[in-house]
Amino acid sequence: MGVSRHKVLIVDDERTIADTFALIFSGGGYETRTAYTAEQSIEIIAEWLPDLAIIDVVLPQMNGIDLAILLRTQCPACRLMLMSGQWITGDLLAEAAKKGYKFDILAKPVHPTVVLESALNLLVANQSKRTEEAVASEQTPPGGG
């Protein structure tokens, strides 16, 4: 069996953007799923846990920041990348910060190579962190020390 591909969930209510990013990531060797609403993404995550979620902040009904907060609790290993071209994003980020959540946002329009590079950096950093944690747990004697 081949090497496991990273799974990327793209959430954007602009179908053209979501589908284009899915095509770009698929072409880059990633396994992708797209959702056009936060609610649709929650249904996908119930059956398919992504390594990375790329989320538009301004979505109908549940916004992308609330979705990111939900993902942090339901899928702690999933890395998050948020994007927005809307002025309301600052207000949403401030509200999330009051609740103890901090997110970095890529400003739309964003070039696909920037998104791919950012995604790779997040996934590699996450993989390195998991490796370090695994090594540390193997070196801890039984009983915690």
For residue range 44-66, list pLDDT tens digits in order. Answer: 999 999 999 999 999 999 999 99
Q: Give residue-wise pLDDT tens across range 92-122.
A: 778 888 888 888 788 888 888 888 888 888 8
Which CATH homologous superfamily contains domain 7-139? Response regulator (3.40.50.2300)
pLDDT category, 41, cuts 50, 70, 90? Answer: very high
How many residues are present in the chain?
145
In contact, 52 and 11? CB cutoff 8 Å: no
Residue 109: cis peptide before it, omega within 30 degrees of 0: yes
Over residues 125-137, mean pLDDT: 60
Question: Strands 52-56 and 7-11, how do they pair?
Answer: parallel
pLDDT category, 34, cuts 50, 70, 90? Answer: very high
Q: Say which residue, 72 or 88, is predicted with more confidence.
A: 72
Is a pLDDT exceeding 50 seen at residue 1?
Answer: no
**Can you give the residue ranges of every domain in the chain?**
7-139
pLDDT category, 139, cuts 50, 70, 90? Answer: low
List, in sequence order, every beta strand (DSSP E) within 12-71: 31-35, 52-56
